[in-house]
Amino acid sequence: MQYNFNEIIDRKKNFSAKYDERMKKFKTDAVIPLWIADMDFKVAEPIQEAILTRAEQGIYGYTTRPDSYYEAFCTWQKNRNSWDVDKSLISFSPGVVPTLSVIVREFTSKYDKVLIQTPVYPEFYEVVEAWGRTVIENQLVESDGKYSIDFDDFEEKLKERPSIFILCSPHNPIGKIWTKSELERMTELCRRYGVLIISDEIHSDLLLWGNKHIPTASISKESSEITITCTSATKTFNLAGLQASFAIFPDAEKKELFDSFWRGLDIHRNNCFSLVAIEAAYRQGSEWLEQLLRYVEGNILYVRDYCAKHIPEIKPNLPDSTYLVWLDCRELGMSNDELNRFMVQDAGLGLNDGNAFCRGLNGYMRLNAACPRKTLETAMYQLSKAVESITNKNNYGRVQ
């Protein structure tokens, strides 16, 4: 069937964090929210039907997890990524961030170091520091909007003997898909220095422009032995509110250590709706996903072209994956605080502050392009008018 991603849906009526938390985050409701990474699109029809059918049963008690749930995930990975996943080494978790947090807690000791690559998803800092561990950073190198790994620095940081390396693959916020050679080099260095890799692959289905994802654990037998993979259908199919994810372990001992933590909290089951929604997504969601990706590509190109024509001071990147656009706003000449105030107060936009992705970074914002085109058109128009206003003020103040 043909899906309508242009449909404007009033999310203020469904307790959406993206909309209802605007006052908390931006101190005003008068912003177009293009921040938190979920989509303003209805989910695939087979997912809606699975949830409605389950709801009509009228009983929502404790829910067991059938083999078909994991089999759907394994089949998806095999078909899309040529990755054979051992079903016996998969664990349930409420989400990828909780998975990362528990791994840091259970697989490291207090004051241990954890390596991350910045700019990166802010929760990478938070799940490390929440347990009294120390973040060390391998900062990615930017050149003309493209990012690469400083492997000399990466190895130097490994010499500090971090317990784990949290890899973001594909990378959020820059949308980079790591090449096989990059993954091979990172995994070989981590193996050499005895560092466990935690590969966050939650964005791995949101592939643009025909790009392909390579699961870190699939690179080689050696990489599979040192990699824990964290992923979910929730980002791909806009199901974050159902809270369910997968963690794939290299061996039974690590899986048991992880599972024992959740058993201590008596958290080991899906809720009844996430169970059917995720299985339906993996078995029947491909058609919706392919249409979504083409639509998101169009939105990202719209942002790029609009900025080039109307706001040359702002330079969006062209991500390999995700629906997130990394905006280089340094030519506006603002401090980070000034840039945030400008986006909220002058442009009326609720974006993510780039400083949260790399502490001390100035001049960047993250924009979520997973919304109807009309919303994006309004947002970009507001941004262009705001930039035009400050440009005119600056020009007016100059001596002619």
Based on the domain organization, do 257 and 172 belong to the same domain?
A: yes
Last residue of a domain, one of 234, 268, 284: 284
Based on the domain organization, do 292 and 350 belong to the same domain?
A: yes
Q: CATH no. for residue 274?
A: 3.40.640.10
Residue 97 within any structural domain of the chain: yes
Based on the domain organization, do 263 and 234 belong to the same domain?
A: yes
Based on the domain organization, do 294 and 251 belong to the same domain?
A: no
Q: How confident is the model at residue 395 (pLDDT cuts 50, 70, 90)?
A: low
Residue 219 within any structural domain of the chain: yes
Closest CA to 201 of 226, 233, 179: 233
Domain count, the chain: 2
Q: Using one digit for the tens of pLDDT, what is the confidence trace for 55-112?
A: 999 999 999 999 999 999 999 999 999 999 999 999 999 999 999 999 999 999 999 9
Based on the domain organization, do 146 and 74 belong to the same domain?
A: yes
Based on the domain organization, do 84 and 166 belong to the same domain?
A: yes
pLDDT of amino acid 14: 85
Share of the chain above pLDDT 90, in %: 94
Based on the domain organization, do 112 and 224 belong to the same domain?
A: yes
Residue 48 within any structural domain of the chain: no
For residue 214, pLDDT beyond 50: yes
For residue 363, pLDDT beyond 60: yes
Residue 55 within any structural domain of the chain: no
The token pair that represents 342 in the structure block: 């400008």
Based on the domain organization, do 386 and 272 belong to the same domain?
A: no
Q: CATH no. for residue 27?
A: 3.90.1150.10
Based on the domain organization, do 205 and 324 belong to the same domain?
A: no
Residue 249 within any structural domain of the chain: yes
Based on the domain organization, do 20 and 164 belong to the same domain?
A: no
Q: Using one digit for the tens of pLDDT, what is the confidence trace for 348-361?
A: 999 999 999 999 99
Q: How confident is the model at residue 12 (pLDDT cuts 50, 70, 90)?
A: confident
Q: Using one digit for the tens of pLDDT, what is the confidence trace for 151-203?
A: 999 999 999 999 999 999 999 999 999 999 999 999 999 999 999 999 999 99
pLDDT of amino acid 179: 98
- Residue-averaged pLDDT of the chain: 96
Full residue range of the structural domain in which residue 30 is found: 11-40+286-392
Based on the domain organization, do 202 and 298 belong to the same domain?
A: no
CA 280/CA 46 separation, integer angstroms: 6
Q: How confident is the model at residue 335 (pLDDT cuts 50, 70, 90)?
A: very high
Last residue of a domain, one of 256, 284, 312: 284
Last residue of a domain, one of 232, 258, 284: 284
Based on the domain organization, do 192 and 206 belong to the same domain?
A: yes
